[in-house]
Each structure stands twice: as C-alpha cells, then as structure tokens.
Amino acid sequence: MSKYNFRLQKLLDIRLDKEEESKRNFTEAQNEKLKVESKLQQLNENYEKYRNISGTESAVKRRITHIYLNAINYSINEACEELKLKEKTLQDKRYDLNEKRVERKTVEILKEKGEAAFLKEQNLIEQRNNDEFALYGFIRNHREGR
C-alpha cells in the first residue's frame, strides 16, 4: 500500500512556522504589557505611600515630597499611555495570531480531506482485489466440483 503524499506540505510547514513566530510575538507583547502593568502598580503604590503630607514635617521636606509626588504623577501618566500602546499592540498580535491559525487550519483541513479521499480510494482498490480473488476462488472451486 502506498503512502499519502500531500502536495502542499511545504505550504503547511511554512504556515506552521509563521504561526509559531506569531505565538512568540504575542507572548513577547503580553510580557511587555505585564511589565508595564507592574511598573504602573509600583508607581501607584509609591504615590499612595508618600501622598499624605503632614503639617509636622519641615517645609523643605514637604517641598521635596511634593516634587517627588509630581514626578511620580508624571511617571504614572506616562505609564498609562505606554500601557494603552502595549494593549493595542497586544490586540494586533492577537488578531495576527488568530489569522495565522485560520490559515494553518485551512491547509490542514485540505490535507485531512485529501488523506481521507486517498484512504478511501486505497480501501476501494483493496476491496476490488479481494472481490477478484474471491471470484477466482469461487470459479476454481466451482470447476473442481463438477
């Protein structure tokens, strides 16, 4: 019995490679987003830690704390903008990954259908051969019985 040879195997391999690359890009974008989220959380924690300025501190210390809070606030705003960009990038990578999966699955479905048709044809050939052998055996036995 011969083996099924899928003519588009190279295309399927290329699509698999592209999907794997897209998965890596998606994971990378997801990790970058998580880093930005972590940074933003850390900045918010620092802001909450130093935002209460008591009147018992010296004017210089209050002024330094105020400048530090302004810097943290500015950093928080920048991190929020960066997070929005990372989320958009992540969405783009997710869309690209889904697109690559659909492309790969399309070729895989073609392969599966071709393989199923091939197996069906092989089974029909085998069945015809078996029927022919049975017919020859029947004829031989029938002639010997006379």
Kindly report, residue by residue over 15-37, the tens digit of the pLDDT.
999 999 999 999 999 999 999 99
Q: Which tokens hold the place of 29?
A: 């974008």
Q: What angle do CA 79, 51, 72 make, to 5 degrees?
A: 25
User: How much is the average pLDDT of 133-146?
Assistant: 83
| CA pair distance 45, 51, nearest whole angstrom | 10
User: What is the share, in percent, of the chain residues with pLDDT greater than 70?
Assistant: 98
Residue 64: alpha-carbon gap to chain centroid: 48
pLDDT, greater one: 55 or 36 = 36
Contact 104, 16 (CB under 8 A): yes
User: How much is the average pLDDT of 2-27?
Assistant: 94
Q: Is the pLDDT of residue 56 over 80?
A: no
Residue 54: alpha-carbon gap to chain centroid: 51
Q: Answer yes or no: CATH 1.10.287.1700 is held by domain 9-145.
A: yes
Q: What is the pLDDT of residue 71?
A: 95
Q: What is the pLDDT of residue 51?
A: 83
Residue 90: alpha-carbon gap to chain centroid: 12
pLDDT band at 146 (very low <50, low <70, confident <90, very high): low
Share the mean pLDDT of the chain.
92
3-class state of residue 3 by DSSP: coil
Q: Which tokens hold the place of 93?
A: 């990578």
| pLDDT per position as a tens digit, 58-102 | 888 888 888 999 999 999 999 999 999 999 999 999 999 999 999
Q: What is the pLDDT of residue 145?
A: 64
| CA pair distance 135, 146, nearest whole angstrom | 17
Single pTM value for the model: 0.76
